[in-house]
Structure 1
């Protein structure tokens, strides 16, 4: 494999036209630069710089290479130097955010408004996340995803906290549980629609109820929060969902605090480390964090 460092040496030698001058510019000794020139002559099969009186002049091959080598070195330096400032106005890109149901409905309007104002050429694709498997993120199929971090989270992923959330009960307006202080017994005895998918933390509420000697009476199961809330809105079923995460889904329903202790949890934003230095990706990460932060304090009490 060729020594690509020789390209830099050749570029400087052709620019300076002097071994001593090139040595000073590259902070090498004259003898080291002479050895580098000998190596370049060996590699190219050309003398490159030849003596004419008391100075060196480029050979025809060196003159031919001068512009080409300069462009190669400049291109390599541009690749290795830090990225320049991001031109949001000129950015053209589709970026994908993968999250559980309710995130797009709750945070999407404000997020899309900010994206449209700052980077109108960006298309933001919201993708539903049916489980905790982060394979699409690791494969580069999505740019960002939301998750509650736990032992199953891939250790190489980067993460930043978005907001704290808690589980609440959702029922139709006028439901028998509204207008009263709901007990754990009344909650457990009501008919429930459960969100059933792998890795969902809702199982913690069943463990909490079991500690009180109670079981939820689950009569229906769905795969997402939107379906659970839709059924609760039109029946006497109780749906238990994350409060802040599903705010955009909960029109026309009543929200009740759970009548037993259940720890809050933190929703985080995840990305693969390969995207850490991508300026457009960093801009979107910061935007999601900002939008989620701006909605803080709006949850139902």
Structure 2
């Protein structure tokens, strides 16, 4: 297992270097930069712009700029945002809590519902219950998340039952603690519901197919023939059906920061999605790279956790690792 972890860490480092270098190169290849926008301001002299270029090393070759950025990024010094006039890491810290509030809530709900509905559909294969659950899955898998968000916003605005857009209502600062929590919870309904409905639909189909596969396996047939109690069979099915599901953990962890970006933009939620959109539109180099850097680390960390969990859950994977060594 130790050798396995070392290999995975080595692959993660190579992937991180490749992703960040290609991203940096693509951004630099795009025509213009943030400082070019400053040239349109007659109050800013060309000398000031040249000073800024030298200050941030933007007058150096691309490779030199990347190496300088990478040295700082290793220590999580992600540079300075031109647009917001603040350190990138500070801007990310200010917004990351808002994004995690949405994504963690929807992730917990999605996983709970996906496992529950997937198990129910798998054990009730071919019944009306199974068909009903599959209809839900097919419907919301084919629903674009942005369209669903617009639809829910329309319903909220027409009924007036929920606030539309943003994270807080007017007069938020004068509310009591309970009223503040309730206000944020109301603003969360539309984005969390959108993320949960779409995410659950895809995951429950995976759980259902895994459950059906395990139920039709020879070992499950043998356990039933031996008269093993149903609760033991359910435990066996649940443990073995979770293997494919566990591989999604890597994408789920990465999605904690980036998965809600489009929904945040649509509903006006002040998270990383809006921050990165502004950064891309204004060609704020260091802010864009900071977001990509953190997102890539989350994806690699998630994949590593998924690999470790699979090795712990499935004895066959542990045996392959021992034989491999």
TM over 0.5: no
Q: TM-score normalised by the shorter chain: which range applies?
A: under 0.3
- Report the TM-score, using the length of structure 1 for normalisation: 0.25
Indicate the structure whose relative CO is greater, using CA pairs within 8 Å and at least 6 residues apart. Answer: 2
- Report the TM-score, using the length of structure 2 for normalisation: 0.24
Give the number of the structure whose residues are more often strand, by fraction.
Answer: 1
User: Larger C-alpha radius of gyration, 1 or 2?
Assistant: 1
